[in-house]
């Protein structure tokens, strides 16, 4: 893969109630956006264990998108605030590990904001394309090194 | 290998969805690929099929489960929010636990949003790979059954809410009907005639209002608002603020003497749309239900100056209580119907039409009150001076609707309403009527016939968007008139039409506080601000939140027949729920593995539902499954990994990440 036509792979986490539905809405409205993001549905952005983000990077993702309900709109009262706190923490930890903090993005999207979801995903993909590939799995001696417990999977 | 050492035998089903998916994703290729490449993960069967959700598609799954001894199903089709239930049922019909099924959304997230077929197909493969990796860790789950409280809360006492309340009450179940204004009736109570039949609005509405007011199964809370809602489907608890009427309802007979004697006149800008007066103690209209008045504290002389109390002096039953306070009432309900209605677009915003500046420009609601026999003019159509009968009237359609600057949507009722206005002007004053329209939209039963009738009655229809309404005369003919500047697009020229009166058919807009209402009840609003239904075609009255239904204009602009139909439809859904007595909840819950719990209590304060309790004696936390809503925040936070979140366990999510990135890893390996 050469850098000038680099297409990033991004893992996205959405909550079940707002942001996953925003993605549904973007689909129903046939809004086109960059195909680089693969979504994982959680019940709430508060479920996002930072391990998930590190795991995604370790397995070769170039960036991670975290998406939830707008502050104040959380289906579970205020758990998206917990996601917000963890997001800032993860950013710091990632930069300490030498990963550009621009490789993670937090996006609030309500169920009605399909258009915002689509355009923000495309923008994020452009931003990550600028940063170039992360290759964290290779730099650190492959996934096996990052995660000794799962050697079979990597092999 | 799965937890219980069972060898995964997975069936993958790739749906064409007609051409919705197959038009962009190479579904045959994906299905073949899954069988070949994901065989090591346990994929035994992989098929593509035209419509997986059809009964034949579902039977395919059921048959394969039996023939190939499958124990896990992955369906790559539409969003799980649409068909997860369908495929869980098919999985269960095949003899498996319904939760051994996982959906991968390759329609909403792939074929509908991407155009490059090669890339879309690759993305679909990655996503299926993620789904397969995830389902290996699925475990059979048992849905939790909870009882449904038989009572229902209906919010909004307009025609839609009244209909819903009556249907449920007639079926024998209790209803709490909450209305913000002093009386139920809503906008429909303000109208004189209803299109296209022209039957009198009050004649058909008031009997229903009285029925709702007297029904033994309906608790009416007027002058009240819902302040708080807790709980979940079947078991909500709502707090209603019953605002102080300053009238003891038990003692009031509704005789009306207080209103007669009250010395304070106030402009009524709610019911009379600012055209008439009411007293400081008032019922909005004579047929109000309930018939107890309300003291308007902001305008009452006693509350302003500390003296007066005329009403108290004359009240024959001593029902006035100036010390009365707001009351907070807590009610238990199983289901909620929101029928909160609409607000009228503020026509002042379209400044070129002169509303608020030119006296004889009226809004549609003002005009409704002018034509109403019990309105401020006794049904006389007169100018703002209260006596001059207009010789010519212009009705402007689409004010604030179908307009990029305000609302892009069509308000759906304005054409018919404007035609009704034209008819009423003909009938009452014989004045010349001009209807300025962009398109005439009359898609209802008997609606277009009504339009043709108006054409025959001699209404002048001018097709064109009005540029301006002004009072600047250019010649003697225009002197003292309102001049409508419009491009007549059928003739292809600019026209200036002088009239005495203008009626603006203003848009219907979401309630100003629709967003807050949505938040209070845990449902969403569309970008325009209307409450969102579960499915625009197939599930128009349910919402994404179980147990919350919507009806009438709260969901979008609609006429009376549609509002009534939705009220009844929502009621039918609720009655069905109540009759089942129980509802199965998603068994997505968190639980603590006691042996792993260190008793650090980090999770305790994270839970917004107070579902986590701490056993001081054993120094471990425990989660109450009835209170847990399954958000998973505690699962993510537990430093010991002692909390398991069913349906979204660490194994499931971590494997899905691996699966999603598997293709990339392979590509990197061949670099």
Give the dihedral of Cα atoms B541, B544, B546, B547; nearest 10 deg: -40
* B534 and B415 in a common domain: no
Cα(B77)–Cα(A39) distance, rounded to whole angstroms?
A: 15
CATH architecture of structural domain A7-144: 3-Layer(aba) Sandwich (3.40)
Residues B408 and B434 in one domain: yes
**B350 and B486 both lie in a single domain:** yes
Length of chain A, in residues: 155
Quickly state the pLDDT bin for A148 (edges 50, 70, 90). Answer: very low
Cite the beta strand spans of B243-340 per DSSP E.
Answer: 265-268, 276-279, 281-282, 294-295, 327-333, 335-338
Contacts of A41 in chain B (CB under 8 A): 80
Residues in chain B closer than 8 A to A28 (CB atoms): 108, 112
- For residues A20 and A109, the answer to whether their CB atoms sit within 8 Å is no
Per-residue pLDDT tens digits for B258-302: 999 999 999 999 999 999 999 999 999 999 999 999 999 999 999
Preferred mutation among A8, A43, A122 to probe B, highest tally of B CBs within 10 A:
A43
Three-state DSSP class for residue B477: helix
Res. B665: pLDDT tops 70? no
- Looking up residue B53, the CATH number of its domain turns out to be 3.40.50
* Chain segment B627-645, per-residue pLDDT in tens: 888 999 999 999 999 999 9
**B149 φ, ψ to 5°?**
-65, 135
Is B642 part of a structural domain of the chain?
Answer: no
Residue from the list B113, B519, B648 with its beta carbon closest to the beta carbon of A73: B519
**Which tokens belong to B45?**
């069967």
Q: Domain check: are B496 and B347 in the same one? A: yes
Q: Which residues of B touch A150 (CB under 8 A)?
A: 658
Nearest to B21, CA basis, from B83, B87, B107, B80: B107
Q: Specify the pLDDT at position B522.
A: 82
Q: What is the CATH number of the domain that holds B364?
A: 3.50.50.60
Tell me, yes or no, whether B16 and B108 share the same domain.
yes
Q: What is the pLDDT of residue B668?
A: 60
- Report the candidate in B407, B405, B382 with the shortest Cα–Cα distance to residue B393: B382
Which burial class, exposed, middle or buried, applies to B604 when counting CB atoms under 10 A from its CB (0-12, 13-18, 19+)?
Answer: middle
Report the mean per-residue pLDDT for chain A: 87
Contact B660 A40 (CB under 8 A): yes
End residue of a domain, out of B509, B535, B553? B509
Host domain of residue B172: 146-183+194-243+328-337+516-584
Segment A35-56 mean pLDDT: 96
Q: Do B207 and B75 lie in a common domain?
A: no
Nearest residue of A to residue B109, measured between CA atoms? A27
Q: What angle do CA B517, B518, B519 make, to 5 degrees?
A: 90
8 A C-beta contact, residue B551 and residue B567: yes
Distance of CA A19 to the CA centre of its chain: 12
If you average pLDDT over every residue of chain B, what do you get? Answer: 94
Q: How many domains does chain B have?
A: 4
Same domain? B275 vs B398: no
User: Same domain for B230 and B88?
Assistant: no
Question: How far is the alpha carbon of B222 from chain A, nearest alpha carbon, in Å?
Answer: 28
- Is a pLDDT exceeding 60 seen at residue A142? no
In this complex, is the C-beta atom of A28 within 8 Å of any C-beta atom belonging to chain B?
Answer: yes
- Mark which residues 92-111 of B lie under 8 Å from A by CB: 105, 107-110
User: What pLDDT is attached to residue A155?
Assistant: 32
Q: How confident is the model at residue B664 (pLDDT cuts 50, 70, 90)?
A: confident
pLDDT band, very low/low/confident/very high, at A71 (cuts 50, 70, 90): confident
Q: Give contacts of B80 with chain A, Cβ < 8 Å.
A: 41
Same domain for B551 and B525? yes
ipTM surpasses cut 0.85: yes
Residue A153 has pLDDT above 60, yes or no: no
Question: Could you say which of B475, B509, B543 is where a domain stops?
Answer: B509
Residue A1 pLDDT class (50, 70, 90 cuts): very low
Contact A26 B631 (CB under 8 A): no
pLDDT at B558 over 80: yes
Residue-wise pLDDT for B130-157, tens only, equals 999 999 999 999 988 889 999 999 999 9
Q: A interface mutation test: which of B108, B517, B664 has the most A CBs within 10 A?
A: B108
Of B532, B588, B656, Cβ closest to residue A112? B532
CB contact under 8 A, B526 and A112: yes
Q: Is A63 touching B (CB cutoff 8 A)?
A: no
pLDDT value at A144 more than 50? no
Structure confidence by residue, pLDDT tens digits, B520-539 = 998 888 888 999 898 888 89
């Amino acid at each position: 893969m050469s850098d000038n036509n680099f297409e990033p792979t991004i893992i996205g986490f959405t909550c079940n109630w707002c942001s996953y539905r925003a993605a549904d809405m973007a689909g129903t409205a046939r809004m086109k956006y960059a195909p680089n993001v693969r979504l994982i549905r959680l019940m709430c952005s508060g479920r996002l264990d930072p391990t998930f983000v590190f795991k995604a990077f370790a397995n070769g993702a170039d960036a991670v998108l975290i998406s939830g309900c707008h502050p104040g709109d959380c289906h579970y009262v205020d758990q998206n605030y917990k996601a917000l706190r963890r997001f800032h923490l993860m950013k710091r930890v990632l930069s300490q590990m030498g990963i550009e903090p621009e490789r993670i993005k937090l996006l609030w999207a309500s169920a009605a904001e399909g258009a915002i979801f689509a355009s923000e995903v495309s923008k994020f993909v452009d931003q990550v394309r600028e940063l170039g590939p992360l290759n964290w799995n290779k730099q650190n001696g492959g996934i096996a090194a990052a995660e000794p417990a799962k050697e079979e999977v990597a092999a | 290998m799965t937890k219980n050492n069972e060898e995964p035998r997975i069936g993958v089903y790739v749906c064409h969805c007609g051409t919705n998916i197959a038009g962009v994703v190479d579904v045959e290729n994906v299905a073949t690929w899954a069988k070949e490449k994901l065989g090591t993960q346990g994929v035994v069967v992989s098929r593509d099929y035209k419509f997986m959700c059809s009964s034949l598609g579902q039977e395919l799954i059921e048959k394969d489960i039996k023939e190939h001894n499958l124990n896990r199903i992955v369906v790559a089709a539409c969003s799980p929010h649409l068909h997860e239930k369908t495929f869980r049922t098919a999985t269960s019909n095949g003899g498996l636990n319904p939760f051994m099924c996982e959906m991968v959304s390759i329609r909403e997230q792939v074929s509908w949003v991407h155009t490059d077929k090669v890339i879309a197909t690759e993305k679909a493969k990655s996503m299926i790979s993620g789904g397969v990796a995830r389902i290996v860790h699925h475990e059979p789950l048992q849905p939790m059954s909870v009882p449904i409280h038989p009572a229902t809360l209906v919010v909004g006492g307009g025609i839609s809410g009244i209909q819903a309340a009556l249907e449920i009450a007639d079926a024998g179940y209790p209803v709490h009907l909450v209305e913000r204004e002093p009386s139920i009736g809503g906008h429909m109570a303000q109208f004189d005639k209803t299109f296209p039949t022209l039957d009198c609005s009050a004649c058909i509405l008031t009997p229903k209002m009285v029925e709702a007011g007297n029904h033994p199964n309906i608790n009416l809370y007027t002058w009240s608002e819902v302040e708080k809602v807790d709980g979940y489907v079947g078991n909500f608890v709502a707090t209603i603020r019953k605002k102080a009427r300053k009238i003891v309802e038990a003692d009031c007979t509704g005789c009306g003497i207080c209103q007669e004697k009250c010395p304070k006149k106030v402009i009524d800008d709610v019911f009379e749309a600012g055209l008439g007066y009411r007293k400081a103690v008032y019922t909005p209209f004579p047929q109000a239900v309930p018939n107890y008045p309300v003291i308007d504290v902001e305008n009452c002389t006693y509350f302003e100056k500390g003296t007066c109390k005329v009403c108290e002096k004359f009240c024959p039953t001593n029902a006035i209580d100036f010390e009365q306070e707001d009351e907070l009432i807590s009610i238990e309900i199983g289901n909620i119907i929101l029928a909160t209605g609409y607000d009228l677009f503020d026509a002042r915003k379209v400044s070129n039409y002169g509303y608020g500046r030119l006296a004889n420009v009226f809004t549609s609601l003002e005009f409704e009150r002018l034509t109403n026999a019990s309105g401020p003019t006794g049904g006389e159509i007169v100018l703002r001076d209260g006596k001059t009968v207009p010789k010519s009237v212009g009705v402007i359609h689409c004010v604030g609707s179908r307009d990029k600057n305000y609302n892009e949507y069509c308000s759906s009722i304005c054409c018919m309403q404007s035609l009704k206005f034209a008819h009423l002007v003909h009938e009452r004053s014989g004045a010349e009527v001009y209807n300025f329209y962009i398109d005439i939209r009359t898609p209802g039963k008997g609606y277009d016939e009504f339009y043709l009738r108006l054409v025959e009655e001699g209404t002048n229809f001018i097709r064109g968007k009005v540029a301006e309404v002004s009072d600047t005369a250019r010649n003697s003919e225009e002197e003292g008139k309102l001049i409508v500047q419009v491009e007549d697009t059928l003739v292809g020229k600019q026209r200036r039409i002088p009239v005495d009166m203008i009626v603006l058919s203003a848009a219907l807009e979401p309630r100003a506080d629709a967003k807050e209402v949505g938040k209070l009840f845990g449902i969403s609003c569309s970008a325009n601000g209307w409450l969102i239904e579960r499915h625009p075609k197939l599930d128009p009255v349910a919402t994404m939140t179980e147990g919350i239904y919507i009806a009438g204009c709260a969901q979008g602009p609609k006429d009376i027949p549609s509002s009534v139909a939705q009220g009844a439809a929502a009621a039918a859904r609720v009655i069905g729920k109540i009759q089942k007595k129980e509802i199965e909840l998603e068994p997505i819950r968190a639980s603590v593995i006691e042996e792993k719990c260190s008793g650090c209590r980090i999770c305790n304060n994270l839970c917004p539902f107070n579902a986590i309790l701490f056993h001081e004696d054993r120094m471990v936390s425990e989660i109450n499954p009835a209170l847990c809503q399954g958000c998973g925040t505690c699962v993510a936070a537990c430093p010991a990994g002692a909390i398991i979140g069913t349906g979204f366990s660490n194994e499931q999510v971590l494997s899905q990440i691996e699966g999603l990135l598997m293709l990339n890893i392979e590509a990197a390996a061949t670099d």
